[in-house]
Amino acid sequence: MLSLLTTTTHAFSQSPSQQCGNSSSYCPAELSCCAAQYSPSTFGCQVAGGTCCKMGPELPPSTTKKNVLIIGDSVSIGYTSYANPNVPALLSSTALAQHAPWDVSDGGAGSRASSATS
């Protein structure tokens, strides 16, 4: 499943956050940092049910261009790195397009099966 989220950054607000260890990863103040196997920083944010979410996009949002966030599974990662031409290249003059989550594995948002309960 693929979702596209576009935002303008006239006044990009930041909620209070906490740094995870001595890394480049931050979690919202109301969430805890946790160990995330596939995160480049080795950290994620713990959400309800004990799930450790992977981090968002690699780069901070642009303050001069529109921001496009492609969220999805391992198929959607192809839109940002393997497809020719890819989405970030097509939009580079007007927008910063990135895939989330940013990780060192497949780029997928995670399996629903791993969080399903019986």
* Two structure tokens written together for 90: 């097509």
* Two structure tokens written together for 118: 């019986």
pLDDT tier for residue 51 given thresholds of 50, 70 and 90: confident
In a domain, 73, yes or no: yes
What domain range includes position 15? 2-110
In sequence order, which ranges of the chain are alpha helices (DSSP H)? 78-81, 87-91
Please confirm whether the linkage preceding 16 is cis (ω < 30° from 0).
no
Which one, of 101, 96, 106, 95, lies nearest residue 47 by Cα? 101
Query: What is the C-alpha separation between 99 and 111, in angstroms, rounded?
Result: 17
In a domain, 81, yes or no: yes
Residue given tokens 């920083």 in the structure block: 41
In a domain, 117, yes or no: no
Instruction: For residues 106-111, give the mean pLDDT.
Output: 61
- The answer to which of 7-21, 24-38, 67-81, 99-113 has the lowest mean pLDDT is 7-21
pLDDT at position 53: 84
In a domain, 115, yes or no: no
Domains contained in the chain, number:
1
pTM of the shown model: 0.60
* Two structure tokens written together for 84: 């020719």
Instruction: For residues 2-21, give the mean pLDDT.
Output: 53
CB 33 within 8 A of CB 25: yes
